[in-house]
């Protein structure tokens, strides 16, 4: 059975179509990612799936239940971590989880056990009696993840789970998310605008832009279609062109470009290609002054599937932001 | 059903916990009315002297007249402002946690309002204890009725605060609410001066103000007589509470996230 099914899901805010006839399926036990720039419609999609907004068109089923007809039953079976913190900062971590458990109708005895086990899981048990206002950003995030799991949801929704966190904390959160699936078998739906996050965590990724899904596949396939990594090589040698054509003839580089003494090579796997590049350069007597490589970023993937760079699409999210601001008035 | 009761109770728990945590807020909520009682009350009572003053204030000294008003002012401001703090819940996200929960939103909101009403009543009781030495004619037997009226008042105005906070969407609105709603309601309640000698238009507004009935009920229970029938006071207060919590719950039920 599919955990989530969306069919032609559409949401409009005035003239802006925030989510435009989006269809996808999330399998049970899968970690599924919605990847896209700010304002692409990720959060709006989540808010329809978690029954906080009604779709203007289309239909969705979460845990086999229709979002239009069974919102209350869906809410019982899902856990949600919002993009912005939604904890009570005056209360302690334990109290926040207690309130959540009671509201979700978890029996008091098992609730106590569940709170302890989840607070230990996210390494916050020692901080259980500290008011949340004294928590760091990463701790609040962990607390919210624990809270979303209190009532043993079948599906966990995470909206930008590592936004604004430092790299170590992000890696820690990723570990937790993987552990959750292992421990509880929870299906996880997450949104992100970080390629590395999607690549590390997700079984499958949907790339969303302007409210539409432009690609849906495993991260490996999405990146493979880009042709792998880009190697940047600086040299003052005049035999750069020769080096490049040699590398592309051997099939190591699928494409190359030279701009101002800088050679850009598209290779499948930079870590394996670089020793061979050194070897070839040594043979030709090309002295390399600097070399680096880049994994494709969301920017590259996005460019590939939309034909536009992220920068070009910024206008659209500013427009969205303006509309949101206007709606708040 | 039991789930709705749980949602109600847990929100009462939350509001009480928040109250206990925030000591500075507790301090502020008591100091402000005391300042009114001491400086405003003692200030005017040195002017309002003799039999003429007693005739103006229903047969009481000005300090005695003011005491029930200050108690209800405490409850009113405490309840109203905590209701408006739904704005903070909106801004800092806790509201979303409630919105996505399967529990009854009406029960949750009613629980929140009742929790804040309890807190406001506790504040009112502390003020009452503090001003008894100042106002000599207070009848100790009337204290339970006063506190019951305080609870109803707290509930009504917390609900009003919640309703307003759900309607407006910016934190900046807070000061506007305080200046354009809270202060007029307070001044047109008979807490500081009797209503009957007022110009006609002010009188009409005062009688439309539920707080007028709270103050009158407190005056009757604390001093022995007010300007209206206590039964009418009670009915008006209870009805306002129901209407206001109803409107808060209705708005909350339709609320979405932004």
* pLDDT per position as a tens digit, B133-158: 887 788 888 899 999 999 999 999 99
Domain coverage including residue B91: 2-254
* pLDDT per position as a tens digit, A175-219: 999 999 998 899 999 999 888 888 889 999 999 988 999 999 998
Chain centroid offset of residue A67 CA:
23
Percent of chain A residues topping a pLDDT of 70: 92
pLDDT for A141 beyond 80: yes
Instruction: Give the mean pLDDT of chain A.
Output: 87
Residues of B in contact with A75 (CB under 8 A): 100-102
Q: What is the CATH number of the domain that holds A240?
A: 3.30.70.980
Contact call for residues B29 and B75 (beta carbons, < 8 A)? no
Banded model confidence at residue A164, pLDDT cuts 50, 70, 90: confident
**Residue of chain A nearest B257, judged by CA positions:** A52
Q: Summarize the confidence of residues B168-172 as an average pLDDT.
A: 77
pLDDT for A270 beyond 90: no
Q: State the pLDDT at residue A324.
A: 47
Write the residue in B6, B17, B96 that is nearest to A86 by C-beta.
B96
Mutate to test the interface with B, among A74, A85, A102 (most CBs of B within 10 A): A102
Instruction: Give the mean pLDDT of chain B.
Output: 90
Q: Which residue do the tokens 């042709």 mark?
A: A227
Same domain, A251 and A120: no
Q: A311 in a domain, yes or no?
A: no
**Residue of chain B nearest A89, judged by CA positions:** B92
Write the residue in A72, A85, A105 that is nearest to B93 by C-beta.
A85
Residue A267 to residues A53, A228, A274, B221, Cα–Cα distance (Å)? 44, 6, 9, 87
Domain count, chain B: 1
Q: State the pLDDT at residue A232.
A: 87
* pLDDT per position as a tens digit, B7-64: 999 999 999 999 988 878 788 888 989 999 989 998 888 888 877 788 888 888 899 9
Q: A70 in a domain, yes or no?
A: yes
Residues of A in contact with B10 (CB under 8 A): 98-99, 102-103
Same domain, A157 and A36: yes
pLDDT for A31 beyond 90: yes
More confident residue, A301 or A30: A30
Same domain, A205 and A258: no
A328 contacts B258? CB cut-off 8 A: yes
Domain final residue pick, A172, A205, A223: A223
Cα–Cα dist A45/A55, whole Å: 9
Q: State the pLDDT at residue A186.
A: 95
Q: What is the CATH number of the domain that holds A140?
A: 3.40.50.300
Contact call for residues A99 and A111 (beta carbons, < 8 A)? no
Q: How far is A140 from chain B (nearest CA, A)?
A: 12
Point out the least confidently predicted range of A103-112, A309-318, B198-207: A309-318
Q: State the pLDDT at residue A323.
A: 43
Mutate to test the interface with B, among A103, A134, A158 (most CBs of B within 10 A): A103
Residue A261: phi and psi, rounded to 5, are: 70, 15
Cα–Cα dist A162/A142, whole Å: 10
Banded model confidence at residue A328, pLDDT cuts 50, 70, 90: very low
Same domain, A95 and A151: yes
Banded model confidence at residue A307, pLDDT cuts 50, 70, 90: low
Token digits of residue B93: 């996200």
Residues of A in contact with B258 (CB under 8 A): 324, 327-328
A75 contacts B100? CB cut-off 8 A: yes
Same domain, A32 and A177: yes
Q: How far is B255 from chain A (nearest CA, A)?
A: 9
Same domain, A44 and A87: yes
B103 contacts A103? CB cut-off 8 A: yes
Same domain, A28 and A104: yes
Q: Summarize the confidence of residues B230-235 as an average pLDDT.
A: 94
Q: A310 in a domain, yes or no?
A: no
- Range A162-165, long-range pairs (CB < 8 A, 24+ positions): A162/A192, A162/A194, A162/A197, A163/A83, A164/A137, A165/A137, A165/A138, A165/A141
Vertex A280 angle, CA A278 and A284, to 5° = 115
Same domain, A219 and A277: no
Q: State the pLDDT at residue A318.
A: 47
pLDDT for A32 beyond 70: yes
Same domain, A9 and A106: yes
Q: A247 in a domain, yes or no?
A: yes
Token digits of residue A318: 């500013």
Residue A228: phi and psi, rounded to 5, are: 90, -140
Banded model confidence at residue B6, pLDDT cuts 50, 70, 90: very high
Instruction: Return the HEC string of chain A.
Output: CEEEEEEEEEEEECCEEEEEEEEEEEECCCEEEEECCCCCCHHHHHHHHCCCCCCCEEEEEECCEECCCCHHHHHHHEEEECCCCCCCCCCEHHHHHHHHHHHCCCCHHHHHHHHHHHHHHCCCHHHCCCEHHHCCHHHHHHHHHHHHHCCCCCEEEEECCCCCCCHHHHHHHHHHHHHHHHHHCCEEEEEECCHHHHHHHCCEEEEEECCEEEEEECHHHHHHCCCCEEEEEECCCCCHHHHHHHHHHCCCEEEEEEECCEEEEEECCHHHHHHHHHHHHHHHCCCCCEEEEECCCHHHHHHHHHCCCHHHHHHHHHHHHHHHHHHHC
Cα–Cα dist A69/A73, whole Å: 9
**Residue of chain B nearest A103, judged by CA positions:** B7
Same domain, A160 and A77: yes
Q: A234 in a domain, yes or no?
A: yes
* ipTM, two decimals: 0.88
Same domain, A274 and A148: no
Residues of A in contact with B94 (CB under 8 A): 86-88
Domain coverage including residue A261: 227-294
* pLDDT per position as a tens digit, A280-302: 888 888 888 889 888 777 667 77
Domain count, chain A: 2
Q: Are strands A187-192 and A31-35 parallel, antiparallel or unpaired?
A: parallel
Same domain, A54 and A69: yes
Residue A61 to residues A23, A51, A129, Cα–Cα distance (Å)? 11, 10, 39
Q: A133 in a domain, yes or no?
A: yes
């Amino acid at each position: 059975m599919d955990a989530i099914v969306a069919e032609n899901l559409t949401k409009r805010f005035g003239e802006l179509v925030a989510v435009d006839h989006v269809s996808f399926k999330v399998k049970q036990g899968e970690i599924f990612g919605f990847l896209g720039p700010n304002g692409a419609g990720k959060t709006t999609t989540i808010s329809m799936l978690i029954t906080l907004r009604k779709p203007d068109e289309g239909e969705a089923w979460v845990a086999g239940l229709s979002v239009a007809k069974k919102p209350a039953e869906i809410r019982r079976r899902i856990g949600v971590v919002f993009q912005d913190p939604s904890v009570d900062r005056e209360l302690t971590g334990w109290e926040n989880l207690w309130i959540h458990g009671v509201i979700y109708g978890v029996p008091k005895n098992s609730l106590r056990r569940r709170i302890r086990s989840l607070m230990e899981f996210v390494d916050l048990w020692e901080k259980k009696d500290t008011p949340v206002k004294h928590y760091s950003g990463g701790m609040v995030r962990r607390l919210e993840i624990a809270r979303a799991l209190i009532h043993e949801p079948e599906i966990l929704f995470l909206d930008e789970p590592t936004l604004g966190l430092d790299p170590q904390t992000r890696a820690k959160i990723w570990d937790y998310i993987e552990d959750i699936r292992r421990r509880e078998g929870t299906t996880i739906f997450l949104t992100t605008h970080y390629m590395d996050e999607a690549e590390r965590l997700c079984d499958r990724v949907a790339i969303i832009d302007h409210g539409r899904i432009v690609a849906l596949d495993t991260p490996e396939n999405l990146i493979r279609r880009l042709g792998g990594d880009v190697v940047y090589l600086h040299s003052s040698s005049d035999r750069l062109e020769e080096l490049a054509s040699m590398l592309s003839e051997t099939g190591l580089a699928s494409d190359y470009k030279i701009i101002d003494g800088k050679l850009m090579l598209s290779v499948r796997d930079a870590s394996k290609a670089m020793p061979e590049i050194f070897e070839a350069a040594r043979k030709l007597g090309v002295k390399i002054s600097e070399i680096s490589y880049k994994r494709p970023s969301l920017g590259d993937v996005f460019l590939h599937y939309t034909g536009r760079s992220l920068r070009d699409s910024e206008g659209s999210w500013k427009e969205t932001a303006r509309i949101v601001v206007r709606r708040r008035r | 059903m039991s789930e709705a009761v749980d949602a109600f109770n847990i929100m009462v728990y939350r509001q009480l916990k928040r109250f206990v945590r925030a000591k500075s807020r507790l301090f502020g909520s008591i100091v402000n009315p005391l300042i009114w009682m001491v400086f405003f009350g003692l200030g005017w009572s040195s002017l309002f002297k003799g039999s003429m003053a007693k005739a103006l204030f229903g047969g009481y000294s000005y300090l005695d007249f003011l005491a029930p008003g200050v108690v209800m002012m405490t409850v009113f401001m405490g309840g109203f402002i905590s209701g408006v703090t739904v704005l903070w819940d909106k801004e800092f996200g806790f509201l979303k946690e409630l919105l996505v929960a399967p529990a009854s939103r009406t029960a949750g909101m009613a629980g929140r309002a009742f929790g804040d009403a309890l807190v406001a009543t506790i504040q009112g009781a502390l003020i009452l204890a503090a001003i008894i030495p100042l106002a000599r004619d207070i009848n100790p037997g009337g204290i339970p009725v006063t506190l019951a009226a305080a609870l109803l008042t707290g509930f009504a105005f917390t609900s009003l605060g919640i309703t307003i906070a759900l309607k407006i969407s910016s934190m900046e609105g807070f000061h506007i609410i305080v200046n354009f709603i809270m202060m007029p309601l307070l001044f047109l309640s008979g807490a500081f001066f009797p209503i009957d000698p007022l110009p006609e238009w002010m009188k009409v507004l005062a009688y439309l103000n539920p707080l007028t009935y709270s103050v009158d009920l407190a005056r009757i229970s604390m001093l022995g007589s007010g300007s209206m029938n206590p039964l009418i006071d009670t009915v008006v207060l209870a009805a306002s509470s129901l209407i206001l919590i109803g409107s808060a719950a209705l708005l909350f039920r339709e609320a979405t996230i932004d």
